């Protein structure tokens, strides 16, 4: 039997995982989780394009603290409901942060912290990536 994907109680627009089993529970970090061997959980932080743009600019410090808290105990990843160009376009629209800074911050997340960031073409693709990342 497939392990259930745990959906955080604060997730206001949860992904539709079709027939895959889900449970709604409060998570300390992230939006989705699945239990892994050795009592670890895999955690996915879901971000809309707007949320990711804010996290990479005005909320960068808070975002860093959230990632640091998540990687201490969990296999942590970030799934964005949009492509890199969409995030960069939203950053440009909302702030004066150069695209190079955004790229460096994404590289830091993926390199220094070894947290995968999946920039998906759509919400549906982000849901598929979340299901794949958490159940394989």
Asked which of 9-23, 41-55, 63-77, 122-136 is least confident by mean pLDDT, the reply is 122-136
Q: Which domain holds residue 92?
A: 22-135
**Residue 110 pLDDT greater than 50, yes or no:** yes
Give the pTM: 0.89
Number of CB atoms found within 10 A of residue 117's CB:
19
In this structure, is residue 2 part of a structural domain?
Answer: no
Residues 18-62 pLDDT 10s = 888 889 999 989 999 987 766 668 899 999 999 999 999 999 999
Q: Closest Cα partner for 43 from 132, 102, 130?
A: 130
pLDDT-based confidence at residue 96 (cuts at 50, 70, 90): confident
In this structure, is residue 103 part of a structural domain?
Answer: yes
In this structure, is residue 11 part of a structural domain?
Answer: no
Q: What is the reported pLDDT for 1?
A: 47
Which sign, positive or negative, has the C-alpha torsion 44, 15, 125, 101? negative
Asked which of 38-47, 59-68, 106-115 is least confident by mean pLDDT, the reply is 38-47
- Give me the half-sphere count of Cα atoms (radius 13 Å) on the Cβ side of residue 118: 23
In this structure, is residue 1 part of a structural domain?
Answer: no
In this structure, is residue 62 part of a structural domain?
Answer: yes
Q: What is the reported pLDDT for 91?
A: 93
In this structure, is residue 42 part of a structural domain?
Answer: yes
Q: What is the reported pLDDT for 39?
A: 60
In this structure, is residue 41 part of a structural domain?
Answer: yes
**Residue 135 pLDDT greater than 60, yes or no:** no
% of the chain surpassing 70 pLDDT: 92
Cα 119 to Cα 136: distance, rounded to the nearest angstrom: 19
Q: What is the reported pLDDT for 90?
A: 94
In this structure, is residue 4 part of a structural domain?
Answer: no
Q: How many domains does the chain have?
A: 1
- Give me the half-sphere count of Cα atoms (radius 13 Å) on the Cβ side of residue 3: 17
pLDDT-based confidence at residue 2 (cuts at 50, 70, 90): low
- Say if residues 5 and 33 touch (Cβ distance below 8 Å): yes
Q: How far apart are the first and last CA of the chain?
A: 13
- CATH number of the domain residue 103 falls in: 3.40.50.10130
């Amino acid at each position: 039997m497939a392990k259930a994907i745990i959906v955080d109680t604060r997730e206001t627009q949860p992904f539709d995982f079709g027939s895959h089993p889900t449970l709604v529970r409060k998570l300390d970090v992230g939006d989705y989780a699945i239990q892994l061997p050795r009592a670890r959980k895999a955690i996915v932080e879901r971000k809309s394009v707007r949320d990711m743009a804010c996290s990479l600019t005005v909320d960068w410090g808070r975002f860093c603290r959230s990632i640091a808290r998540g990687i201490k105990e969990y296999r942590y990843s970030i799934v964005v409901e949009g492509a890199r160009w969409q995030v960069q376009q939203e950053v440009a629209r909302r702030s004066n942060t150069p695209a190079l800074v955004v790229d460096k911050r994404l590289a830091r997340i993926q390199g220094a912290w070894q947290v995968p960031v999946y920039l998906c073409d759509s919400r549906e693709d982000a849901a598929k990536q979340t299901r794949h990342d958490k159940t394989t």
